[in-house]
């Protein structure tokens, strides 16, 4: 939602902007409400499928998708003909490795060739992702995939115990408040969907008390948030001894780090239900009330795990629901640890540990090996006098820590932080601290905790079958 970028919206008073946001929400319900409810009903049933039923579902949807790609998508038509493949050669997920992997660079440079020749005008929507490298990546999604996405999110709400249309606050990257605004309200109300939409771009140490007061007045049952935004707000609340009781916090779009999860759960007196989602929409995973890992949703796409980086495997996704710009075997650059355990909840879905590595957004040791997010998080956990940090790896032997200090930040805190990071990075790494007033967010609202500018060693390219 980028209403704040429209000149007429920006010039309007807050109450008019509330009305326009509500109209946008009402329009979405009118367009997609019935279709979302129908797909949601199917998903509520399919979550309990057996492994055999999931296999048949994926086989049917993949067969349709591959034939569609061969007949209407120039890129795949060319690739398959060059390899001597026909749609009959790819009938099940086990056949997908016959096709080459799809990289972000291919999508970025040959995106037009990935568009279906049977696009329906007005039925598709462009999505832009900056990614960990900051280079923009645009993908096109058809109406069915957008409806399916909404239904998947609503299933996550149901699994977390939330009733339909319950009051919720959203703290993500919705542009509903003009960037130049310096006084509250830094939020707008979407009344048809019982939603308080809060501007992540305006959240700071100065404005945090106003955000907390807005949450108290609105009384949501749940908070949808980027983990970094929820964590920052939770830190500010804890600094003044505040808590707000919610039913749950729904996190996604970024990795959530162990220490961050605990802080969020303490401030909001509830459990976090995390999810794995990308703007490219090739794979989806979610937490259930058992919190034993992330369940990979077979209805959403075919998810493969390739390579091996210290026990971690890269997520490669094939969306089963987007026929406008199909992405087959798309390399996400995200590394996880697939789990062999069955979840006590009974769902027959692959379980994953949290995302541990994002290529271009992860620290590396001097030997080029990835440093999992869990270890990085452990290095900064328990430092009470630090408000924000950002780790910028300039090279394999130089790390800059940008830090927003608390009022009682001292030399002891500095030494503890440097010592903990050096223990993980190695004694030969130069670590510099840079004290700053704030750490800016990207244009898409993401707060990048780890920024890697280190040149990847050649060996790191050999991560696939």
429-439: pLDDT as tens digits: 888 888 887 77
Concatenated DSSP letters for 67-111?
A: HHHHHH-HHHHHHHHHTT--GGG--SGGGGGGSPPB-HHHHHHSG
How many C-beta atoms lie closer than 10 Å to residue 416's C-beta? Answer: 17
168 in Cβ contact with 220 (< 8 Å) = yes
* pTM more than 0.85: no
Sequence-distant (≥ 6) Cβ neighbours of residue 318 within 8 angstroms: 62, 65, 93, 96, 282, 301, 302, 303, 304, 327, 328, 329, 330
Q: Helices then strands (H, E): number in the chain? A: 11, 20
- 74-82 and 51-72 helices, crossing angle to 10°: 100
Write out the DSSP string of 197-249.
EEEGGG-STTTHHHHHHHHHHH--SEEEE-HHHHHHHHHHHHHTT-----SEE
Q: Which two tokens stand for residue 69?
A: 């790609």
Query: Does residue 373 contact residue 362 with C-beta atoms inside 8 Å?
Result: yes
Q: How large is the average pLDDT for residues 84-107?
A: 95
For the stretch 338-383, pLDDT in tens is: 999 899 999 999 999 888 766 555 677 776 666 656 566 666 666 6
Residue-wise pLDDT for 305-339, tens only, equals 998 877 789 999 999 999 999 999 999 988 888 99
* Domains, in order of start, for the chain: 47-166+221-358 (3.40.50.12780), 373-461 (3.30.300.30)
Can you give the three-state secondary structure of 389-410, one letter per residue? EEEEEEECCEEEEEEEECCCCC
Length of the chain: 465
Q: Comparing C-alpha atoms, which of 123, 115, 110 is closest to residue 68? A: 115
Cis (ω within 30 of 0) for the bond into 185? yes
Q: Give CA separation, 353 vs 229, 346, 461, 463, in Å.
A: 22, 17, 23, 19
State yes or no: pLDDT of 463 exceeds 60.
Answer: no
Residue of 333, 332, 320, 328 whose CA lies nearest to 114:
328
């Amino acid at each position: 939602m980028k209403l704040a970028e429209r000149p007429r919206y920006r010039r309007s008073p807050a109450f008019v902007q509330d009305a326009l946001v509500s109209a946008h929400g009402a329009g979405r319900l009118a367009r997609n409400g019935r279709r979302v409810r129908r797909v949601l009903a199917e998903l509520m049933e399919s979550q309990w499928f057996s492994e055999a039923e999931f296999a048949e579902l994926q086989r049917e949807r993949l067969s349709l998708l591959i034939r569609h790609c061969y007949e209407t998508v120039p890129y795949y038509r060319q690739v398959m003909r060059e390899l001597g493949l026909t749609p009959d050669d790819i009938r099940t997920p086990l056949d997908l490795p016959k096709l080459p992997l799809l990289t972000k660079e291919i999508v970025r440079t040959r995106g037009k060739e990935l568009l279906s020749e049977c696009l329906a005008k007005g039925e598709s929507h462009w999505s832009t992702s900056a990614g960990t490298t900051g280079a923009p990546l645009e993908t096109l999604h058809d109406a069915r995939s957008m409806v399916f996405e909404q239904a998947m999110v609503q299933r996550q709400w149901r699994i977390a115990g939330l009733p339909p249309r319950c009051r919720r606050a959203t703290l993500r990257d919705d542009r509903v408040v003009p960037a130049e605004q310096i006084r509250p309200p830094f939020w707008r109300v979407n009344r048809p969907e019982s939603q308080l939409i809060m501007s992540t771009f305006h959240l700071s140490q100065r404005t945090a008390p106003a955000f907390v007061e807005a949450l108290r007045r609105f009384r949501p049952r749940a908070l949808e948030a980027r983990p970094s935004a929820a964590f920052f707000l939770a830190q500010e609340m804890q600094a003044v001894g505040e808590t707000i009781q919610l039913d749950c916090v729904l996190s996604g779009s970024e990795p959530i780090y162990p220490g961050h999860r605990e802080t969020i759960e303490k401030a909001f007196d509830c459990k976090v239900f995390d999810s794995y989602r990308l703007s490219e929409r090739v794979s989806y995973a979610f937490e259930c009330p058992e919190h034993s890992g992330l369940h990979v949703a077979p209805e959403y796409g075919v998810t493969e795990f390739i390579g091996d980086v210290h026990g971690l495997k890269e997520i490669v996704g094939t969306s089963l629901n987007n026929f406008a710009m199909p992405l087959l075997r798309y390399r996400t650059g995200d590394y996880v640890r697939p789990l062999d355990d069955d979840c006590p909840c009974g769902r027959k879905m692959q379980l994953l540990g949290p995302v541990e590595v994002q290529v271009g957004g992860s620290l590396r040791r001097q030997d080029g090996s990835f440093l999992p997010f869990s270890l990085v998080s452990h290095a900064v956990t328990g430092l009470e006098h630090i408000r924000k940090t950002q780790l910028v790896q300039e090279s394999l032997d130089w790390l800059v820590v940008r830090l927003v200090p608390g009022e009682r930040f001292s030399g002891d805190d500095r030494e503890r932080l440097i010592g903990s990071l050096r223990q993980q990075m190695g004694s030969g790494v130069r670590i510099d601290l840079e004290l700053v007033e704030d750490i800016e967010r990207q244009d898409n609202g993401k707060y990048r905790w780890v920024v890697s500018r280190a040149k990847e060693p050649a060996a790191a390219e050999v991560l696939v079958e």
